[in-house]
Structure 1
Amino acid sequence: MPTTRENTEDRSAVRTLLRLWPYVRPVRARVFTAAFVAVVASCVGLVIPLVLKWMVDGPIADQDPAGVWLGALYLLLLGFTEAGLFGMRRWLVARPLSHVEAEMRAALYRRLQRLPVAFHDRWPSGQLLSRATADLGLVRMFLAFPLTFLLVNTVTILVGVIIMLLQDWTLGLVILGPAIPVMVMCVVFEHRYAVVARRAQDQVGDLTTVVEESVLGIRIIKGFGRHRSQARAFRELSTKLRGTELGKARLLATIWAVIVTLPEMAIGAALVLGAVQVADGELSAGTLVAFLSTALALRWPVDSIGFLLAMSQEAATATERYFEVMDEEPEKDTVVHADRTAEDRTAEDATAEADRRDGGLRFDGVVFRYPDADPASTPTLNRVDLHIRPGESMALVGATGSGKTTLTALVPRLHEVTAGRITLDGEDVTAMSRAQLRSKVAVAFEEPTLFSASVGENVLMGTDAEAGPAELERALGVAQADFVHALPQGTGTQVGEQGLSLSGGQRQRLALARAVVGRPRFLVLDDPLSALDVHTEAAVEAALRRVLADTTALIVAHRPSTVLLADRVALLSGGRITAVGTHQELLRGNPEYAHLMSGSGRQEDDR
């Protein structure tokens, strides 16, 4: 699970935000145009004080009404021009930046699909959801507003300061007096705010995780009366997030107080000094009006520095969180063993030729250790050797925690083997693309997962081909899932999130139908009948036998009735295959197997 990164000394907000460039580049023309338009609009606003100076020193001083009306017309036109240009800026950026956000979200989703199962085991889903929603919203807001106005306000302040210095350099120096303390405060604020912003966004992810788990586990919460403890956990996280947000608010209030107070004091000092100069005849009234108007026009660009920096830091931390996922190494489609010697290649080629003659599914010296496990620890699977012949069904039996599910996950490469090899008809699974591999292998897991889609769509996910109604009905028949025809819209019925509108047995039958609909050459079933009642199980087994006759299957089994579906049985113990034989052979000759199958297993054997 990712942790909050409190230390941001080695992180540059600018360097982080520059990583957004590949996404912005396709719309750069409109973004740059919008920035240019905003700069022009801001500069148009700075012309207004110059018009005021002309009016005060000219028509007003000369008591010329026509000149005053002309000056008013100029001011009106400048105001309309400024407003129109800012409106154009918003129009220019709205659509392209929405496109940037959509593209980033699509790229994140694609990357999540390609990341290994070990990544998803490690990361809470709420953290991923917050990155795909809240964080990308912050990035879009930054691109739409702070990015442009950091540039616009910088240009505006520079042009405004030049105009004031040209009007009267002594008053200009007075206005520039607070510049150094304000810049120092901004540097301190930026560093501190980055830490708090990162903490807040991580806490939002934690809160999202709690909400998602509570919604998905609502039956457990209600069943055990745990709503108070869950509410307490949510309240604690919410209170922690509230404290962090208040910390952000205090930092922003502090920087804003400095940024607002010091320039206001400088403007007040310039007003007093300017009034004295006008009284002494050293400065015209129009010049003082223009100077003060320019200074007041710069209040917004200066005052906005605080929250623009805050939004930029939040966008930087959001970008950092986004790329934490994007930088994760995706699954390799194929694995090239470039370091093999000529002798290795010769031996492997000979083995592959033998595999092709024998065919089927073969585990050859397979070792597996989870990626986050200690390299010195005992592997979950250790030197597994097993051969399932073409058209044969092999039941995999073992005690809880022996590694049965892990072994089945290696076939479709949900995990990568640490050592050894797995072959399908003599071809190493790591030499195939995942699309090619998963077109050959279908999987049904013990815990069936259904999506918020129709029954038919859930089942047909098991095939890449354009399977029609006939294939769908065949698969439903094999899985004894005829109950779908009694649903309100039949196979078009929406099953709801996680398929929780159906019973456990119904979900398991639909998952089995999904596995067999594509007529796979290899079938991997992880205890596929555990949630079925005795009568349904018998009917499914009868239909499944016909399917197993045409495929090569590995079936994780816990009950003798499931074991009897298979031609042979493999016993997995201590991470190794310790015995292979028929059910009756192992029952008679292997005490561990007999213990696992005790009770009903012996009764069936006696029959």
Structure 2
Amino acid sequence: MSRRAPKASIDPDTRKTWLRRALPLVEAHRVVLAASLLLSFAGLVVQVQIPNLLRIGIDKAIVDRTAQLSTYVWWIAGLALLQGLINYLARLYLLRTAYEIEYDLRNIVYSHLVRMPFGFFDRVQSGELMSRSSSDIRAVQMYLSFGPSILVQCLIAVVAFGLMLSIDVPLAIVAMATMPVIGFLGVGMRKAIFPISWLIQARLAGMATIVDENIQGVRIVKAFAAEGRQLRSLGESADKIRWAYLQDARIRSRWTPVLDNLPRLGLALVLLVGGIMVIRGGTTVGTIVAFNSYVLMLQPPFRLLGMMIMLGQRASASARRIYEILDTPSDIVDGPEPLDVPLKGDVRFEGVRFAYPNGTPALDGLDLHIRPGETVAVVGATGSGKSTLGRLLGRFYDVTEGSVTIDGHDVRELRLASLREQVGIVPDEPFLFSLSIHDNIAYGRPGATRDEVIEAARAAGADDFVRKLPEGYDAVVGERGYTLSGGQRQRLAIARALLVNPPILVLDDATSAVDVTVEQAIHESLAQRMAGRTTLIVAHRLSTIGLAERVVLMEGGRVIADGTHESLLATEPRYARVLAVFEKTEA
């Protein structure tokens, strides 16, 4: 089943209220929602007829004995069955609308998240995003779909009041006397509950962050025997959530009983005033029974009204948290007329300055030219800016000053999808999905055949260990690939990049966790694969440098030396010092 695009989006006008911004989502599903609401209203019309039939039956069949009681019994039973059928259809359409709105909202949020640059994820916690993409979306969906239904349910008060006025005006006014008070209290409850609703959602997001980090970092937690400390941290977060929920419960305990019981006060008033009227001959017993039924009908809508107020405040808080994400623009997007051209691999960094979003400087006036088909190793101490080159080349970040060009085209002028299809990057920390090994290697080319996947795995030195697995290429790796060794994960990541066969390849210390003997075999295969391909190798091993025909030495975000390994070793003492560090690390 193919993925359906959302039928609408959130209104981008930040001056509007949260509800007005969300209305396009509701309007996109207006046909099914309207059918549900019309059916709900029809069910209410049927429902309010039953007490009226009960009044007529009591007065005519029991008191006056001028009609058959069975006639009214059958009418009431028939209306009850009809109401049940209508309510079933109304509920069916309502739930369909609810799930459609939730589907659209999730896709809108996810589509925006995947467009955000690396810098956004550098500063926003993943648990926070998970909370806003799950519980916050559900809170908004509940209000947008069930809110209109609750309002229709509340219309029973209007319909019932109209019928009561047609039967007995004074008694109808008595029955509705408490309703203005309920409305006033509802407004007060809404104002009281909003701040705590926001706090609850924020603290739930904080809890989600702690849980996410503990699951993702469970090996570090266990390695340092920090389970107790993490449990205490989780407990403190849970205590904060409990406090917020208790405040929410206190607010509800003050307001909800009043909202629930005021209609019952109306019931007592109907009995008192109506009873006096019956004694004086001003009305009938059937009328009092019918009015009691109508007053009882008013209780669920006003209870729902209280629930709607709470849903509204929770949704308001959640919507604002979602809008914080949607209103954050991506500063790395396609230009007005992006270029979609095949690249040969002539790479230039010209006067590039760059600092990460947290202010950490990385490059300071860097100049570097890599010719098409050339293999260049970038060497330098930690923090010299080596890995940043690949991130700027794939435009995961934009330069602060200067330019990065490929074949004379600034990467900011190229279509992002096309650029990243032609710049293959193997990061130093490979990420694998909880999929089969075949699907992980074919991630960049989902339509690749098994033979193509195997060929890429052989080139990356992964075929041997994959075939030894019980299920081979169909074996499903655990989350993040932790069922495999670090070297095995790196080899699969290399295979994934090679299968795409990009004209430009960036290897960011891609074989650091691979055994030296295996690395040699990989290097022999890569040497063949890199022929004619522009390759940038971020090297932290002496053996890796051997793949390159040219070496660039970086320091302080600049290129300070450039040449062959032999020439640099003979003429550049700073290069020798870096190599000495490599030798100590490998030893």
TM over 0.5: yes
Q: 1:70, CA displacement in angstroms?
A: 1.3
In 2, Cα distance between the equivalents of 1:143 and 1:253? Answer: 25
- Equivalent pair of 1:505/1:531 in contact (CA under 8 Å): yes
In 1, Cα distance between the equivalents of 2:26 and 2:265? Answer: 40
Asked if 1:28 is matched to 2:30, the reply is: yes
- Equivalent pair of 1:333/1:432 in contact (CA under 8 Å): no
Matched letter for residue 208 of structure 1: A
Matched letter for residue 365 of structure 1: G
Equivalent residue number for residue 41 of structure 1: 43
**Could you tell me which of 497, 502, 505 is aligned with 2:487?**
505
Equivalent residue number for residue 212 of structure 1: 212
- Equivalent pair of 2:97/2:145 in contact (CA under 8 Å): no
Equivalent residue number for residue 252 of structure 1: 252
In 2, Cα distance between the equivalents of 1:151 and 1:194? Answer: 23
Listed one character per residue, the Cα deviations across residues 349-382 of structure 1 (whole Å, up to 9, x for unaligned) are xxxxxxx9x9621101112233454xxxx84322
Listed one character per residue, the Cα deviations across residues 53-75 of structure 1 (whole Å, up to 9, x for unaligned) are 212322222234x5222122222
- Equivalent pair of 2:127/2:209 in contact (CA under 8 Å): yes
**Could you tell me which of 463, 473, 481 is aligned with 2:454?**
473
Q: 1:86, CA displacement in angstroms?
A: 0.9
- Equivalent pair of 2:354/2:363 in contact (CA under 8 Å): yes
In 2, Cα distance between the equivalents of 1:190 and 1:602? Answer: 66
Equivalent residue number for residue 105 of structure 2: 104
Structure 1 residues 359 and 83: CA distance shift in structure 2, 3 A: closer
- 1:70-469 mapped onto 2 (5 Å cutoff): 70-153=71-154, 155-330=155-330, 332-335=332-335, 360-373=346-359, 379-463=361-445, 466-469=447-450
Q: 1:316, CA displacement in angstroms?
A: 3.1
Deviates more, 1:584-593 or 1:201-210: 584-593
Equivalent residue number for residue 349 of structure 1: none
Q: 1:484, CA displacement in angstroms?
A: 0.7
In 1, Cα distance between the equivalents of 2:270 and 2:424? Answer: 79
- Secondary structure at 1:561 match in 2: helix
- Equivalent pair of 1:396/1:571 in contact (CA under 8 Å): yes
In 2, Cα distance between the equivalents of 1:135 and 1:216? Answer: 22
Q: 1:487, CA displacement in angstroms?
A: 0.9
Asked if 1:579 is matched to 2:580, the reply is: no
**Could you tell me which of 507, 524, 530 is aligned with 1:525?**
507
In 2, Cα distance between the equivalents of 1:472 and 1:394? Answer: 27
In 1, Cα distance between the equivalents of 2:335 and 2:287? Answer: 75
In 1, Cα distance between the equivalents of 2:112 and 2:443? Answer: 20
In 2, Cα distance between the equivalents of 1:309 and 1:603? Answer: 63
Q: 1:180, CA displacement in angstroms?
A: 3.5
Equivalent residue number for residue 53 of structure 1: 55
The runs of at least 4 consecutive aligned structure 1 residues that moved more than 4 Å come to 11-14, 599-604
In 2, Cα distance between the equivalents of 1:384 and 1:337? Answer: 28
Listed one character per residue, the Cα deviations across residues 268-297 of structure 1 (whole Å, up to 9, x for unaligned) are 123212211221223332332222222122
Structure 1, gaps ≥5 residues long:
1-10, 339-355
- 1:558-597 mapped onto 2 (5 Å cutoff): 558-597=540-579
Listed one character per residue, the Cα deviations across residues 141-184 of structure 1 (whole Å, up to 9, x for unaligned) are 3344332122331x211222233344444333333333333222
- Equivalent pair of 2:384/2:557 in contact (CA under 8 Å): yes
Structure 1 residues 571 and 13: CA distance shift in structure 2, 3 A: closer
In 2, Cα distance between the equivalents of 1:527 and 1:309? Answer: 56
In 2, Cα distance between the equivalents of 1:103 and 1:270? Answer: 48
Matched letter for residue 493 of structure 1: A
In 1, Cα distance between the equivalents of 2:335 and 2:233? Answer: 44
Q: 1:599, CA displacement in angstroms?
A: 6.1
In 2, Cα distance between the equivalents of 1:448 and 1:379? Answer: 24
Structure 1 residues 216 and 257: CA distance shift in structure 2, 3 A: same
In 1, Cα distance between the equivalents of 2:326 and 2:225? Answer: 39
Structure 1 residues 335 and 589: CA distance shift in structure 2, 3 A: farther
Q: 1:416, CA displacement in angstroms?
A: 1.4
Identity over the aligned pairs, expressed in percent?
Answer: 36
Structure 1 residues 367 and 337: CA distance shift in structure 2, 3 A: farther
Listed one character per residue, the Cα deviations across residues 430-478 of structure 1 (whole Å, up to 9, x for unaligned) are 11111211221100000010011111211122447x4333432332222
Structure 1 residues 518 and 13: CA distance shift in structure 2, 3 A: closer
In 2, Cα distance between the equivalents of 1:470 and 1:150? Answer: 60
- Equivalent pair of 1:448/1:511 in contact (CA under 8 Å): yes
Matched letter for residue 299 of structure 2: R
Deviates more, 1:201-210 or 1:322-331: 322-331
Matched letter for residue 145 of structure 1: F
Structure 1 residues 336 and 179: CA distance shift in structure 2, 3 A: same
In 1, Cα distance between the equivalents of 2:444 and 2:89? Answer: 50
- Equivalent pair of 2:345/2:533 in contact (CA under 8 Å): no
Structure 1 residues 12 and 454: CA distance shift in structure 2, 3 A: closer
Q: 1:603, CA displacement in angstroms?
A: 14
Listed one character per residue, the Cα deviations across residues 44-91 of structure 1 (whole Å, up to 9, x for unaligned) are 211222212212322222234x52221222221222222221111012
Q: 1:542, CA displacement in angstroms?
A: 2.3
